[in-house]
């Protein structure tokens, strides 16, 4: 169970405009995720997007989950990453990417993002879609990847020859992304990076 509850009261707060809202769901999801990560990896540095959260409360302790995913645990750690110590890890948590969509009731557009870095380099990431639907039924879906191991949790579709694919969320889809899709991929990436940096 993800622990992320669509029934948590919205009570949206403004962190800097309509595209930067914060709800109780953001804070509760971060409390659940970060507290559990702290229990699993107490020496890692864990940084959550939301401020003003107390992780040393009875509520926080009650949310801790020690579950692991058997699909992930089947894989061996790539040799390149085997020597990394827990204290070398920085884990970044965006507890609800798509808060605006969440407030608007478009739950299927909401994700949980977790990025893991070691020695200043990205080494792994997780995208969790709590309300992903298969045949009209909410099943949730987790996509994850590790450098040197690969990406998992989705069906790979070959890119048609001579085509490039760019992926973004609806709220990040801007004119600079749309216009550049016919240009070389480096221009697309620079435009996306620029548009996301400016938001």
CA dist 130 and 141 (Å) reads: 6
The token pair at 102 is: 């969440």
Above 60 in pLDDT, residue 5? no
Confidence at residue 196, expressed as pLDDT on a 0 to 100 scale = 41
Of 55-64, 120-129, 139-148, 171-180, the poorest mean pLDDT is in: 171-180
More confident residue, 46 or 158: 46
Confidence at residue 25, expressed as pLDDT on a 0 to 100 scale = 83
CA dist 130 and 97 (Å) reads: 11
pLDDT in tens, 135-146: 888 888 999 999
State the chain's mean pLDDT as an integer: 78
Active site residues: 26, 99
Percent of all residues in the chain with a pLDDT value above 90, rounded to a whole number: 32
For 72-84, what is the mean pLDDT?
89
Confidence at residue 174, expressed as pLDDT on a 0 to 100 scale = 60
Burial of 163 (C-beta count, 10 Å sphere; 0-12/13-18/19+): exposed
């Amino acid at each position: 169970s993800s622990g992320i509850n669509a029934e948590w009261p919205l009570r949206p707060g403004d962190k800097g405009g309509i595209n930067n809202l914060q709800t109780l769901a953001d804070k509760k999801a971060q409390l659940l995720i970060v507290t559990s990560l702290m229990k699993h990896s107490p020496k890692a540095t864990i940084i959550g997007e939301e401020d003003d959260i107390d992780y040393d409360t009875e509520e926080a302790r009650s949310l801790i989950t020690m579950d692991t995913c058997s699909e992930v645990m089947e894989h061996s750690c790539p040799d390149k990453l085997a020597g990394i110590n827990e204290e070398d890890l920085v884990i970044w948590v965006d507890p609800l990417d798509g808060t605006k969509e969440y407030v608007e009731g478009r739950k299927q557009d909401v994700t949980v993002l977790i990025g893991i870095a070691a020695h200043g380099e990205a080494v792994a990431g997780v995208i969790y879609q709590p309300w992903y639907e298969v045949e009209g039924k909410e099943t949730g879906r987790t996509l994850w990847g590790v450098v040197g191991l690969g990406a998992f949790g989705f069906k790979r579709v070959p890119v048609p020859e001579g085509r490039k694919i760019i992926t973004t969320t609806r709220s990040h889809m801007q004119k600079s992304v749309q216009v550049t899709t016919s240009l070389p991929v480096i221009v697309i990436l620079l435009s996306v990076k620029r548009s996301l940096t400016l938001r």
